[in-house]
Amino acid sequence: MHKCCPVCGVRFEVEPGFFFGAMYISYAFSVATFIICGLATYLLGNNPEVWVYVMVVIVVVLLTFPSSFRYSRILMLHLFSGIGYEPDAADKEGQT
Ligand SMILES: [Zn+2]
């Protein structure tokens, strides 16, 4: 992840430790993954043994970790950073 926006240069980590909060969002993503994978395994696998559930959840969580990590930070920025998206900001900066 970029430390600053490559276009307008805004610093994403608005205060030290800002992204600790993203861990809670990431945790929520993981819990949602557990529930969805658990239900899918139950329904598709006709209620297999416990180790099958564990393996399915571990594999899916590992596969989705990169996107979960980024989307939790994106959500954190949108919800709590106070930084807004200004489509024209880069153009304005280019003119001055
Ligand atoms: Zn920017």
Q: Structural domain boundaries of the chain?
A: 30-80
**pLDDT value for 42:** 93
**Does pLDDT of 10 surpass 90?**
no
**Does pLDDT of 88 surpass 90?**
no
Name residues with Cβ closer than 5 Å to ligand 1, which is an ion.
5, 7-8
Q: Which residue has the tokens 């329904």?
A: 43
**Does pLDDT of 95 surpass 70?**
no
Residue 48 token pair: 């297999």
Q: How far is the CA of 74 from the centre of ligand 1 (A)?
A: 13
Q: How far is the CA of 9 from the centre of ligand 1 (A)?
A: 6
**pLDDT value for 81:** 86
Q: Are 73 and 1 in contact (CB under 8 A)?
A: yes
Torsion sign across C-alpha atoms 48, 54, 60, 63:
negative
Q: Are 96 and 8 in contact (CB under 8 A)?
A: no
**pLDDT value for 41:** 93
**pLDDT value for 83:** 84
Q: Are 36 and 68 in contact (CB under 8 A)?
A: no
Q: What is the mean pLDDT of the chain?
A: 87
Q: How far is the CA of 30 from the centre of ligand 1 (A)?
A: 29
**Does pLDDT of 93 surpass 70?**
no
**pLDDT value for 32:** 93
Q: How far is the CA of 93 from the centre of ligand 1 (A)?
A: 11
Mean pLDDT of 33-54: 92
Q: How far is the CA of 43 from the centre of ligand 1 (A)?
A: 44
